[in-house]
Chains A and B, each alone.
Chain A
Amino acid sequence: MTRFDELPKTYATLRFAGDGLEPTHISALLPVAPKRAHRKGETFYAGPHTGNLTGRTGIWYFDTRDLASRDLTDHLRRIVELLYPEPGNVDRVTKLRNLMRQEHATARVSCFWFGKPGAQPPAIPEDLSAALAGLPAEIETDFHEA
């Protein structure tokens, strides 16, 4: 639970999806454990209230909810650092792009932000959106105000 004085609340998500996606192939390329990963048709446990679900499509999902920062840029930078281990190193992105092509998967990054009344919603830095476009990953925003 988040208190009002702890706003803004923000994080970013990285999600690969596709009916032919084998999520272990994504995990083999990225240095983090996914928060959720399943193949299409696979049964997985989604929590004590939800119980077991069956994957509608293949998913590899990660988010930065554990990162203690109220700045969306920090969260997006965390995602970009997963894709580019060091500036100019495109090896990982190239491997991911090839895998996405082979498994007919898409990538999407979403930005969640919930601010206090009247707060200015964040902007997405151009260098980060350009880096994500290199995957390519579509960027989606979900901004709210209390």
Chain B
Amino acid sequence: MIWAVRRKRCMAERLWSNPGNPPRWVAGRLGVSQWDFSDALHKIKKAAGLRGADSVTIWQDGTVADGRGEVIGNIYDEV
């Protein structure tokens, strides 16, 4: 399962990688509302023990990775 997730991420486009809150267009690219996106990202970061200001990377398949590149969740699992 982990291998499958990694392979999928390799084929996906990296949308955004920075600390703090992503710009609004990221939600649009994922096809979800801004509020559902912000809600999902908040939940993923908190459940992983991250602060709001901590850096994450978001991929076009919804995968969210922490500052070290480790997957911590997926937006589509939370909306």
A residues near B (Cβ < 8 Å) are 1-2, 4, 7, 9, 11, 13, 15, 17, 35-36, 46-53, 56-57, 59, 61, 63, 65, 108, 110, 112, 114, 140, 142, 144, 146
Contact = CB atoms under 8 A, between A and B. Distances in A.
Contacts, number: 91
B42 A112 contact: yes
Given A56-B49, A61-B46, A142-B52, A49 B39 contact: no
Contacts of A59: 47-49
B73 A2 contact: no
A47 B74 contact: yes
A65 B51 CA distance: 18
B13 interface: no
Interface residues of B, number: 33
Interface of B: 1-2, 4-5, 21, 32-36, 38-39, 42-43, 46-49, 51-52, 61-63, 66, 70-74, 76-79
B46 A13 contact: yes
B45 to A, nearest CB: 9
